[in-house]
Amino acid sequence: MPTFIPAYIETFKKGLLAEKIETAYKILKSCTLCPRQCKVDRLAGETGVCKTGKKAYVSSFNAHFGEEGPLVGTHGSGTIFFTHCNLLCIFCQNYDISHLGHGEEISNEQLAGMMLHLQNKGCHNINFVTPSHVVPQILSAVENAISEGLSVPLVYNTGGYDSVQTLKLLEGVFDIYMPDFKFWDPEIAKTTCNAKDYPEITQKALIEMHRQVGDLLIDDRGIAKRGIL
């Protein structure tokens, strides 16, 4: 397989990443980043369902070996766990992070540093867990990290409750989408995460993800490079 170059490299070179960052931060002024449509001014410190204002919170970052095989490879997936969530399922396995807010507020520069640290450890990718509510911060951090030599694929590891509008901002930035589709039944979605529209919203999100990156592409080592997983 030819040398793989992540999509964000070309997006950065064309100046399109800076445009995406500007657009994403404008959304935070009256936040409609995700399907919750809270319309709070996160730039002023207001918070909605995700309890996150202008800055992201991270609970941990490390080389993770418990993810799907094509992400883990031999050196692990460079996983960054964001604190809080826009979905808030009552059965969440990371309840202390998503509901209780365990984690620390970080700057975009710190987030970029985490990405580079994981790449330097040999991780095959940077895997953003629960990223839907912090897309502007991620985009800004990616821009910083590219300038410092980031060169591995980015993974959008999501519960699936994503706005197509926001996903379009990620086109040309993320090479791998890993949505965790949870509910086909609207009533169960309403009971467990107060999101009766989850099946409809998430199906549209998955279609958009696949439009952007297509089927999963794996290299000769069995490592995922691009696609939906």
The structural architecture, per CATH, of the domain 7-33+54-228 is Alpha-Beta Barrel (3.20)
Cβ atoms 164, 32 nearer than 8 A? no
| Lookup: tokens for 76 | 């692990």
- Cβ contact 4:224 at 8 Å: no
The residue ranges of DSSP E strands in 146-229, in sequence order, are 154-158, 176-179, 217-218, 224-228
Strand 104-106 and strand 56-64: the pairing is antiparallel
CA-to-CA distance for 142 and 144, rounded, in angstroms? 5
Q: What are the structure tokens assigned to 53, written together?
A: 């204002």
Q: Which of 90, 99, 85, 88 is nearest to 56 (CA)?
A: 85
**Alpha helices for the chain (secondary structure H):** 7-13, 16-28, 69-72, 95-98, 108-120, 135-147, 164-170, 186-193, 198-213
In tens digits, the chain (229 residues) has pLDDT values of: 568 899 999 999 999 999 999 999 999 999 999 999 999 999 999 999 999 999 999 999 999 998 899 999 999 999 999 999 999 999 999 999 999 989 999 999 999 999 999 999 999 999 999 999 999 999 999 999 999 999 999 999 999 999 999 999 999 999 999 999 999 999 999 999 999 999 999 999 999 999 999 999 999 999 999 999 9
